[in-house]
A and B are shown apart, each in its own frame.
Chain A
Amino acid sequence: MATVDQPKTATPRPEGYEAPPSVLEGDHTYATVTDKISGIVLTRKTPLSWFLIFGVGFSLMMVFFGAVGYLLLKGTGIWGINVPVAWGFAIINFVWWIGIGHAGTLISAILLLMRQEWRTSINRFAEAMTLFAVACAGMFPILHMGRPWLFYWLLPYPNVMSLWPQFRSPLVWDVFAVSTYGTVSLLFWFVGLVPDFGTMRDKAQNGTARVIYGMLSLGWRGSASHWHRYETAYLLLAGLATPLVVSVHTVVSFDFAVSVIPGWHTTVFPPYFVAGAIYSGFAMVLTLVIPIRAIYGLEDMITRRHLNNMAKVMLATGLIVAYGYMIEMFMSWYGANNFEQYMSRNRMAGPYAPIFWSLILCNVLTPQLLWFKRFRNNVVVLFLIAIVVNIGMWLERYVIVITSLHRDYLPSSWGMYHGTIWDYATYAGTIGLFLALMFLFIRVLPMISIFEVRSLVKTNRRPSHTE
């Protein structure tokens, strides 16, 4: 990133240079940082809006359980899928959620390795989001199976039939990619939490809480050797997680790119899927962080600087995605393959054209506003753009999955796809599940890394008194 914040090197700035907002504002000391963050969980009264949002999430989660129950009872036929469109909402949602899950690891691992200090106040939050998004994502491939109770057949386990999964299938790669990603993300998140668990244990008034936090803190005493091991482990995990950021969505894109279907069989998919994932991940972080910082008054820890930086990442990845669309269209024309050409024409002018053009509006045109600092600094506009991008990324997957399948090679088998009430219920249900988990996390765990923000105190522009 070009806007690396290096306050220590006091090089003279040119005239009119406006210093970027700090990553930690306000008169924070170690104590205030600790109190503020741990207080959200331990002492402060739970705000009404928490109950509201959690309530919505919880209700939708119940819808999810209902939809899944009915699904298991009746079969995937309750959804809108058919032949030719044998994949529908489930795969769209899977890719969408997995994409969202990318921001966390990118922020935590890659930005850590790149020594981007501004990541510290949002990484915990983003990692949690990643975990929950991956949890939502991970359910779809299982639920979309005709016989979900046999999902473990995709795992390579020793069995009496001496049968392995079929390793040429991208779906098997998916299993490894997603499960690895989920595991590493969880570990990374948990390891990052250990020092804060120690803080929470020490600060907790409630005996039960103290016991639970105590167990989770794994005996953290903050000794130098602890810190040393912690730093090493964290760095190693960051190194492990970094390639995953690229690999997961690349593998997901192989689900499509490896096939023979026009609109899927495209070499541009891996890079543009990864960019799209980061794009949607940052959009989701913004979508969540903007209201939460308002609710909990965290403006001095999650500053305009953070929002600004995230907006820039969105702009950059958004442009890569737009380039991906362009190249896809260009190649279908340049390749002179009439199936590919028809696919492009069908996307732009076929029955699903409104969705395609909405996608262009959401993903390509709207984010161009982020070129302007005015909009990047306007929290409301940023929030709206982030939501639009979230929608756009969902539509992108819809276009990829549905419009490619619904008219492939033989015109005789062409058809249409429409989601049913159960498709929508399941989708909304996972959003509910995600919200419920997210707000439970906010309620019971420090959503901002206490010890890392404390490390920012000394780099804060105003020197701290208590040091």
Chain B
Amino acid sequence: MTSDKKQLDLTAIRERLRAQTGRDYWRSLEELADTEEFRELVHREFPRQASEWTDEVGRRGFLKLMSASLALAGLGACTTQPLEKIIPYVRPPEQLVPGKPLFFATAMTLGGNAIGLLAESHMGRPTKIEGNPSHPASLGATDAYSQASVLSLYDPDRAQAVTERGRIRSWTSLQVALAAEIDTLKTRRGRGLRILTETVGSPTLRFQLQELLRALPQAKWYEYEPVNWDNRREGTRLAFGRPMSFHYRLDQARVVLSLGSDFFCSRPESVRYARDFTARRRARENPSDMNRLYVVESVPSPTGTIADHRLPLRPSELGRFAQALAARIAGGQPGDGETPGEHSKWLDALARDLSANRGQSLVIPGEFESPEVQRAAHQINSALGNIGKTIEYTPEPDGGRTSQSDGLRELAGEMGDGQADVLIILGANPVYAAPADLKFAERIMKPRLRVHLSPYLDETSRLCHWHVPETHFLEQWSDAEAFDGTVTIVQPLITPLYESRSAHEIVSLLQGRYRSGYDSVRDYWRSQQPGADFEKFWKTALNDGVVPGTGSAAPMAATSAVAPGAQRPQQGRTDTQGDRGEATGGPERRQTGAASPPGSTTQPRPGQRAAAPLVALQSPAQKKSDLEVGSTARPGGASLELIFRPDPSVYDGRFSNNGWLQELPKPLTKLTWDNAALLSPRTAERLGVRSEDVVELRYHGAAVQAPVWVAPGHADECVTVHLGYGREYGGKLATGAGFNAYRLRRSDTPWGGPGLEVRKTGERHRLATTQAHWSIEGRNIVRTGTVEEYQKNPHFVHEKEHGFGPELSLYPEYEYEGNAWGMAIDLNACLGCNACVVACQAENNVPVVGKDQVIKQREMHWLRIDTYHEGNLDNPKTVHQPMLCQQCEKAPCEVVCPVAATVHSSEGLNDMIYNRCVGTRYCSNNCPYKVRRFNFLQFSDKETPSLKVMYNPDVTVRDRGVMEKCTYCVQRINAARIEAKKEDRPIRDGEVVTACQAACPTHAIVFGNINDPNSQVAKLKKLSLNYSVLGELNTQPRTTYLAALRNPNPELGTE
């Protein structure tokens, strides 16, 4: 072909181009030359010989050809296949039995704090996360984030290879590139090297980084997380003169006040708090001992919904409220002017209640509230003698560090003026998440070499030279510290799926010698355990998920008090502990807490306060603007307060490519796939906006457009925006969802402040919610009462029955010889935290459907949290009700299925036979609880290879056209049954734990055999608080609910 191809006449081409007018695109020189050959090529499209079959096929010819083809067709099968050897396990790994999962202890870190987990592994594939019962932050339960982490591991959008400016490179080439850089850095003693990490919760990594800084003293290491604990730290500094860590012992507290803290959900140790709190919440055994919770908050939160008294105040008001309360309890000046008169009754009652419970009360400052609020909380706790009893302080390990926000500002400055030459970012995504005023995206272009380690190719990766995929915690060796110092060794469940590395490995590379994460972690712990039998130590640590000797020996035990000297305030003060005479206090027991008052008498006296080592209540540092804006009169202008909060589903944006979390209905708003500007009904009315109206939020010069969501119970005159949305890069699901609230964020006021302007744009944005109706319409679906009512009449719950007389049924009752499974859900303990929803999704291969389908009301969650408001719009009472298949005894779904695809099992479950289902959806229509879910389309992803690996092998992956629903985790029942049969014994109580029950931080869900009168669930069902939802339909549900009890302060009534 080439032989006769004429040389391209370039001059002719130039001529032709010159002759052309206008814009005319060309693809190749051949086209431009417009040669004969090219025309023919275009004409034929195929090469000459094969392009057409010119032979006219006659009948005979055709038959000959076809018969030959037919005869020879079989020959193809005779090709020898290449030899591939498959090798069976000659000696299978110990304990590996196909079909039986293994559990390994590990931990997940969020915000620098770990929660101990057990990962379920099926034939080497982690498929499900459970809590680690021996870990203090978990106690066997989990939060929604850790439940969803499995999906992040198998996320097909994860970065899969080392890249340099977008081109795939080998790991070696990065090593080579960095090695050269390290050599020059060494000669400069590290000058110009800047390392940015997230909050480091790993002792090994901290040690590695410190070692690196020792070797390169001029290098600098910054920690920054958009959701950081700066204010918490600053608050303790204000109160005690130096930063401290602290945690609460909610099981010791009778009266709890939250000043804007969503402590059930916002902290890594929240799972533990929820457990401790609800331990004293269960009034049924000892109603008079029930704790009481006051919540003062700006943004409606799960914590607020379980409160006995809730007061919505905007942040500035909340600050004044805290000051006023501190003044009342701890003495001192009551702040600028008296507190809002309308709240004085509240304040008085609250102060009295707290004071009456000295040592048994607790004031929890909001993590994101101003340091002044934090300080006030510490003061009050100190004045009430709570320190060491309901709140414990430990010195901050690295107290001298600047705050994260200041650190990031410093780094941005250094990048801007060229001091940062080499920038290594480990895990963080500052281009997306840094406050807008730092202009990070602009300044990051200054350092000469930028290396980014992160799980996704995100906003930051795109502006860095090198990107290294980061290992998921289920793929890496590491360690992680919990809130109380307990360390867990993070062990991998699977070899990294892609060419990814951990931070340990990158740091070791910077140290000049690459070491695997395993070596780094092991060596660190070997150095920590001199003399001891290291192998034994190591194995115990891995097995238990807790490094022996770290943290408090018994979680939250009184002996976990730390040495007071370590946290002596600068003012200096002699320790006056030891004279309290608690039963538990031994001679070595020391009351910690520098701020604890000398000798705690029952009544706080102002004079006493003077001796306390607290810094003056009236601090000059107090922000004047707070007080100016916080007037009781509603500001007439358009200026509102802005509040930033981490998103309850995607947190700071790190989970925004996780479909389970994206589709997780956020507590209270039930929003999915979007964030919104939350504001109170009254404010919405004043601004003339409705839900889904798009408004422009203007804050200190920055502006974003956001859809409005009117949130009942939100404080007036302020707007909440959640972080973590509006991603530009970072996965298919992450991009395009919501708006980026970071654009409004400023480094000096990271959690918002006054000065927000809201302007209606006239546009609308459709938001996908899973619940459209919030009123209970006078129905008795959720039942609540007060402790007083309960004490007066333990059966008050049943007086709320609609009552239609004796129920008759056409069908005879079932008889159960063996087990009869049932569930009881304690509404008093349900916080609406969503952990169970994701747990159910992970366990049962529940598909994600996407925003469009959620709008069409086709979400697939087998377990949903119904939220009902009652009372006025501005401060409604809210109750959560987990709603799942009720496994009715007289199930309406069973009788209407034409093909017997849903049938009653011999143990009382409504079994769903996916194979048999033809999809008439009659069962769903006839289900009064609407807990059945239908695969309207092919929702399950059966194509993506990584997701195939993720599915729970014990649960069918459903196809389109099939109905599905909660099965009480029948696969777990069957697993337990097999075990029991092998040992020839009945299934024990507590042996079958459903996924939702296992995940629940508060033990609100109890499952078991109701035929066994001694089972926990049978006992609960005998309680007078127990009731059936829609019992009057005679469906006889196996799932019953315990009514929620509240413990309001008689002084305040049940307003």
Q: Which residues of A contact B (CB under 8 A)?
A: 74-78, 80-84, 86-87, 141, 144-148, 150-151, 153-154, 163-166, 168-172, 175, 255, 258-261, 337-339, 342, 405, 407-416
Q: How far is the CB of B809 from chain A (nearest CB, A)?
A: 12
Contact A165 B961 (CB under 8 A): no
Q: Which residues of B contact A (CB under 8 A)?
A: 771-779, 781, 802, 804, 853, 856-858, 864, 866-868, 881, 883, 892, 895-900, 916-922, 924-926, 928-930, 932-938, 960-963, 1029-1030, 1033, 1035
Q: How far is the CB of B1028 from chain A (nearest CB, A)?
A: 13
Contact B934 A83 (CB under 8 A): yes
Known A75-B938, A413-B930; judge A171-B896 contact (CB<8 A).
Answer: yes
Interface centre among B864, B896, B929, B1033 (most CB of A within 10 A): B896
Measured between beta carbons, the chain B residues less than 8 angstroms from A80 are 856
Could you say which of B858, B916, B930, B936 contacts A153, with CB atoms under 8 Å apart? B916
Interface centre among A141, A165, A260, A409 (most CB of B within 10 A): A260
Could you say which of A83, A145, A169, A339 contacts B897, with CB atoms under 8 Å apart? A169
Known A75-B961, A338-B779, A405-B925; judge A172-B918 contact (CB<8 A).
Answer: no
Query: Smallest CB-CB separation from B777: which chain A residue?
Result: A411
Could you say which of B864, B917, B926 contacts A259, with CB atoms under 8 Å apart? B926
Could you say which of A145, A260, A411, A412 contacts B919, with CB atoms under 8 Å apart? A145
Q: How far is the CB of B901 from chain A (nearest CB, A)?
A: 8
Measured between beta carbons, the chain B residues less than 8 angstroms from A166 are 895, 897-900
Contact B772 A259 (CB under 8 A): no
Q: How far is the CB of A39 from chain B (nearest CB, A)?
A: 48
Q: Per DSSP, are chain A's interface residues mostly helix, strand or loop, or mixed?
A: loop
Contact A146 B900 (CB under 8 A): no
Known A147-B962, A411-B773, A412-B866; judge A76-B857 contact (CB<8 A).
Answer: no
Contact B918 A163 (CB under 8 A): no
21 contacts between A and B (CB under 8 A): A76-B919, A76-B936, A77-B858, A84-B924, A86-B925, A144-B921, A147-B917, A147-B960, A148-B918, A154-B899, A170-B896, A171-B896, A171-B898, A259-B922, A259-B926, A337-B802, A409-B1030, A410-B1030, A413-B771, A414-B773, A415-B857
Other A-B pairs beyond A147-B918, A411-B868, 20, CB < 8 Å? A75-B936, A83-B930, A83-B934, A84-B925, A86-B925, A86-B934, A87-B922, A146-B917, A146-B934, A146-B935, A153-B918, A165-B899, A166-B897, A168-B896, A259-B926, A405-B925, A408-B930, A410-B781, A412-B771, A413-B866
Contact A84 B892 (CB under 8 A): no
Interface centre among B918, B924, B1033 (most CB of A within 10 A): B918
Please, how many angstroms separate the alpha-carbon atoms of A81 and B932 in the complex? 14
Measured between beta carbons, the chain A residues less than 8 angstroms from B897 are 166, 169
Please, how many angstroms separate the alpha-carbon atoms of A77 and B937 in the complex? 5
Contact B896 A83 (CB under 8 A): no
Interface centre among B779, B895, B930, B937 (most CB of A within 10 A): B930
Could you say which of B772, B858, B928 contacts A409, with CB atoms under 8 Å apart? B928
Please, how many angstroms separate the alpha-carbon atoms of A83 and B900 in the complex? 21
Measured between beta carbons, the chain A residues less than 8 angstroms from B777 are 342, 411
Known A75-B960, A258-B896, A410-B928; judge A146-B1033 contact (CB<8 A).
Answer: no
Measured between beta carbons, the chain B residues less than 8 angstroms from A172 are 898
Please, how many angstroms separate the alpha-carbon atoms of A408 and B771 in the complex? 14
Contact B1030 A259 (CB under 8 A): no
Contact B918 A83 (CB under 8 A): no
Q: How far is the CB of B120 from chain A (nearest CB, A)?
A: 30
Please, how many angstroms separate the alpha-carbon atoms of A26 and B372 in the complex? 103
Could you say which of B883, B900, B925 contacts A165, with CB atoms under 8 Å apart? B900
Contact A82 B858 (CB under 8 A): yes
Please, how many angstroms separate the alpha-carbon atoms of A171 and B921 in the complex? 11
Could you say which of A163, A261, A412 contacts B900, with CB atoms under 8 Å apart? A163
Please, how many angstroms separate the alpha-carbon atoms of A75 and B940 in the complex? 13
Interface centre among A80, A342, A409 (most CB of B within 10 A): A409
Measured between beta carbons, the chain A residues less than 8 angstroms from B853 are 77
Please, how many angstroms separate the alpha-carbon atoms of A146 and B919 in the complex? 4
Please, how many angstroms separate the alpha-carbon atoms of A81 and B778 in the complex? 28
Contact A409 B896 (CB under 8 A): no
Q: How far is the CB of A171 from chain B (nearest CB, A)?
A: 4
Q: How far is the CB of B19 from chain A (nearest CB, A)?
A: 50
Measured between beta carbons, the chain B residues less than 8 angstroms from A255 are 922
Measured between beta carbons, the chain A residues less than 8 angstroms from B916 are 153, 163
Measured between beta carbons, the chain B residues less than 8 angstroms from A260 are 892, 926, 928, 1033, 1035
Could you say which of A76, A175, A259, A407 contacts B896, with CB atoms under 8 Å apart? A259
Measured between beta carbons, the chain B residues less than 8 angstroms from A168 are 895-896
Contact A261 B919 (CB under 8 A): no
Contact A259 B892 (CB under 8 A): yes
Query: Smallest CB-CB separation from B856: which chain A residue?
Result: A82
Contact B961 A146 (CB under 8 A): yes
Q: How far is the CB of A401 from chain B (nearest CB, A)?
A: 9
Q: How far is the CB of A448 from chain B (nearest CB, A)?
A: 40
Measured between beta carbons, the chain A residues less than 8 angstroms from B961 are 75-76, 145-147
Could you say which of A148, A153, A163, A259 contacts B925, with CB atoms under 8 Å apart? A259
Query: Smallest CB-CB separation from B802: which chain A residue?
Result: A338
Query: Smallest CB-CB separation from A154: which chain B residue?
Result: B898
Q: How far is the CB of B550 from chain A (nearest CB, A)?
A: 44
Q: How far is the CB of A306 from chain B (nearest CB, A)?
A: 40
Contact B929 A409 (CB under 8 A): yes
Please, how many angstroms separate the alpha-carbon atoms of A148 and B776 in the complex? 38
Measured between beta carbons, the chain A residues less than 8 angstroms from B896 are 168-171, 258-259
Q: How far is the CB of A279 from chain B (nearest CB, A)?
A: 25
Contact A408 B928 (CB under 8 A): yes
Q: How far is the CB of B907 from chain A (nearest CB, A)?
A: 20
Query: Smallest CB-CB separation from B864: which chain A residue?
Result: A412
Contact A147 B919 (CB under 8 A): yes
Please, how many angstroms separate the alpha-carbon atoms of A277 and B67 in the complex? 61
Could you say which of B804, B922, B924 contacts A171, with CB atoms under 8 Å apart? B922
Interface centre among A146, A163, A171 (most CB of B within 10 A): A146
Contact A153 B919 (CB under 8 A): no
Could you say which of A76, A146, A410 contacts B866, with CB atoms under 8 Å apart? A410
Q: How far is the CB of B305 from chain A (nearest CB, A)?
A: 15
Contact B962 A146 (CB under 8 A): yes
Contact A75 B898 (CB under 8 A): no
Q: How far is the CB of A432 from chain B (nearest CB, A)?
A: 26
Measured between beta carbons, the chain B residues less than 8 angstroms from A78 are 937
Q: How far is the CB of B918 from chain A (nearest CB, A)?
A: 5
Please, how many angstroms separate the alpha-carbon atoms of A148 and B962 in the complex? 11
Measured between beta carbons, the chain A residues less than 8 angstroms from B858 are 77, 82-83
Q: How far is the CB of A66 from chain B (nearest CB, A)?
A: 18
Please, how many angstroms separate the alpha-carbon atoms of A259 and B891 in the complex? 11
Measured between beta carbons, the chain B residues less than 8 angstroms from A84 are 857, 924-925, 930
Measured between beta carbons, the chain A residues less than 8 angstroms from B857 are 82-84, 415-416
Contact A75 B937 (CB under 8 A): yes
Measured between beta carbons, the chain B residues less than 8 angstroms from A259 are 892, 896, 922, 925-926
Please, how many angstroms separate the alpha-carbon atoms of A259 and B925 in the complex? 8
Measured between beta carbons, the chain B residues less than 8 angstroms from A75 are 935-938, 960-961
Please, how many angstroms separate the alpha-carbon atoms of A255 and B897 in the complex? 11
Q: How far is the CB of B734 from chain A (nearest CB, A)?
A: 25
Contact A412 B868 (CB under 8 A): yes
Measured between beta carbons, the chain B residues less than 8 angstroms from A165 are 898-900
Contact B918 A412 (CB under 8 A): no
Please, how many angstroms separate the alpha-carbon atoms of A193 and B778 in the complex? 61
Measured between beta carbons, the chain B residues less than 8 angstroms from A144 are 920-921
Q: How far is the CB of B466 from chain A (nearest CB, A)?
A: 43
Q: How far is the CB of B192 from chain A (nearest CB, A)?
A: 57
Measured between beta carbons, the chain A residues less than 8 angstroms from B781 are 409-411
Could you say which of A81, A83, A171, A411 contacts B775, with CB atoms under 8 Å apart? A411
Q: How far is the CB of B679 from chain A (nearest CB, A)?
A: 23
Measured between beta carbons, the chain A residues less than 8 angstroms from B1029 are 410
Contact B960 A261 (CB under 8 A): no
Please, how many angstroms separate the alpha-carbon atoms of A175 and B918 in the complex? 14
Contact B921 A146 (CB under 8 A): yes
Please, how many angstroms separate the alpha-carbon atoms of A147 and B959 in the complex? 10
